[in-house]
């Protein structure tokens, strides 16, 4: 019984972290913390969103699919991790570091990369950059504090709020 409860707790904690991470990126981009709302490129750690003549509805559909695919990837990897663990060990910090470093961060950094290479409406690049920057900041926090990140109920609060404001409902669900 304890094994089942422990795995349920770990699964719920991971889901909260995933949801929080996505939301945090959006909030950080909104202006929490220092003022790094400027676009960031791959080489200088800034996020740059590709702009073009695309309708908002088309971008929202593509972005929501990216978020859903990211969530599915993370959940598959996390389920495999739990299965490989057998019974939970007492090293929660080590497990948190593994989950964050090998599953959470790569999955959501992949989301950021995919979204930055998806053409966004020219008029909306600031909002999208703010969302992705907030997510990146929350991922940075998770990397530095994996145990706190997985225990957090709102790791991605900022990113989620940004996603909601733009109309990325699936992304909000993924982050929340």
- What are the φ/ψ torsions at residue 32 (nearest 5 degrees)? -75, 145
Per-residue pLDDT tens over the stretch 83-142: 888 766 677 888 889 999 999 999 999 999 999 999 999 999 999 999 999 999 999 999
pLDDT score at 43: 38
Ramachandran bin of 120, using left for φ above 0, alpha for ψ from -120 to 50, beta for the remaining angles? beta
Helix 2-30 and helix 105-116: axis angle, to 10°?
30
Per-residue pLDDT tens over the stretch 27-75: 333 333 333 433 333 334 689 999 999 999 999 999 999 999 999 999 9
């Amino acid at each position: 019984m304890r094994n089942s409860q422990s795995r349920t707790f770990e699964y719920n904690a991971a889901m909260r972290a995933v949801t929080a991470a996505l939301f945090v990126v959006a909030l950080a981009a909104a202006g929490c913390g220092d003022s790094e709302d400027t676009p960031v490129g791959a080489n200088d750690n800034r996020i740059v969103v590709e702009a073009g003549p695309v309708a908002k509805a088309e971008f929202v559909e593509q972005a929501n699919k990216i978020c859903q695919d990211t969530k599915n990837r993370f959940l598959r990897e996390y389920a495999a991790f739990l299965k490989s663990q057998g019974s939970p060990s007492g090293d929660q910090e080590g497990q948190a570091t593994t989950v964050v470093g090998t599953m959470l961060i790569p999955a959501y950094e992949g989301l950021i990369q995919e979204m930055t290479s998806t053409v966004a409406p020219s008029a909306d690049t600031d909002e999208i950059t703010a969302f992705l920057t907030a997510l990146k900041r929350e991922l940075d926090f998770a990397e530095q504090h994996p145990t706190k990140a997985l225990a957090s109920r709102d790791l991605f609060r900022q990113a989620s709020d940004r996603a909601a404001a733009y109309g990325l409902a699936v992304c909000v669900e993924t982050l929340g």
